[in-house]
Amino acid sequence: MEWHSQLESAPMDLDQKQEIHIPPKPREALEDRKLLDQPSRHERLQSDSWRVLRITSEFVAGFDHLADVYPAVSIFGSARTKLSNDFYGAAVKTAELLGRAGFAIITGGGPGIMEAANKGARKAGAMSIGCNIELPFEQQINEFVDRAMTFRYFFVRKTMFIKYSEAFITFPGGFGTLDELMGALTLIQTKKITNFPVILFGSNYWGGLINWMRDRVLAENNITPEDVDSIHVVDDPERVTEIVCEWHDKALVVDGDED
């Protein structure tokens, strides 16, 4: 399970953080709200085509900012998880183990599980990355992020999570966490991404969802058994690391054969 990382293991100096930050704005000024709200005909003619250039520039900035990140995993979970919560400690441990195995850790950059994962990366000396999102309420980038970026658009941010990760590790969370989870599962089901394990941490939390998928969604033939069986449900940080490393090693073999 040991292999040589191509990623710098030493964390960046805090005084040399690379951060692209867009100050928080009032709800009515948020760019994705402007994009998704129904505009007047005048607004549509005047602004929507120009907004495409802004979206393009955000993609370019994200790609440039993360181009050297490899290998990496994305860790998701609730921003509301407190330090005293068992899942907070589990997220720290999981990220630390993955960091020591050579992976950079990518999170949403905020508090809760995101903070815990970035803290674990810092403890391991791994690259700790935070992809923050502009919200009506300000979400500060946590203190354990070494490389930070704040996005205007959710869909640009989600692309970065997918593009630069080799696995999705999902701790208990709410709508945002579920959105990231279902997005990843859809991409896997439609063969848009390969060699991409999805890991749910916390069988008590996620067990009901998996049972519902089997009892309702699968029973109605809306998904296949493989769609459900491909999801890993675990309760142990060490097991998470084993799964991710196994998939990484397997992907290296496949890539080598293709070359």
Q: What confidence score (pLDDT) does residue 41 get?
A: 55
d(CA 202, CA 77): 11
SS3 assignment for the chain? CCCCCCCCCCCCCHHHCEEECCCCCCHHHCHHHHHHCCCCHHHHHHHHHHHHHHHHHHHHHHHHHHCCCCCEEEEECCCCCCCCCHHHHHHHHHHHHHHHCCCEEEECCCCCHHHHHHHHHHHHCCCEEEEEECCCCCCCCCCCCCEEEEECCHHHHHHHHHHCCCCEEECCCCHHHHHHHHHHHHHHHCCCCCCCCEEEECHHHHHHHHHHHHHHHHCCCCCCHHHHHCEEEECCHHHHHHHHHHHHHHHHHHHHHHC
Q: Is the dihedral of CA 61, 133, 200, 1 positive or negative?
A: positive
Q: What confidence score (pLDDT) does residue 44 get?
A: 56
Give the Å distances, CA to CA, from 219 to 11, 187, 198, 215: 48, 21, 22, 6
Question: Tokens in use for 122?
Answer: 């810092």
Q: Is the dihedral of CA 97, 128, 86, 207 positive or negative?
A: negative
Question: Tokens in use for 11?
Answer: 């964390």
Give the mean pLDDT per block of 10 residues along the chain (259 residues): 37 44 52 60 63 91 93 96 96 98 96 97 97 81 94 92 95 96 93 88 97 97 94 98 93 60
Q: What confidence score (pLDDT) does residue 20 get?
A: 45
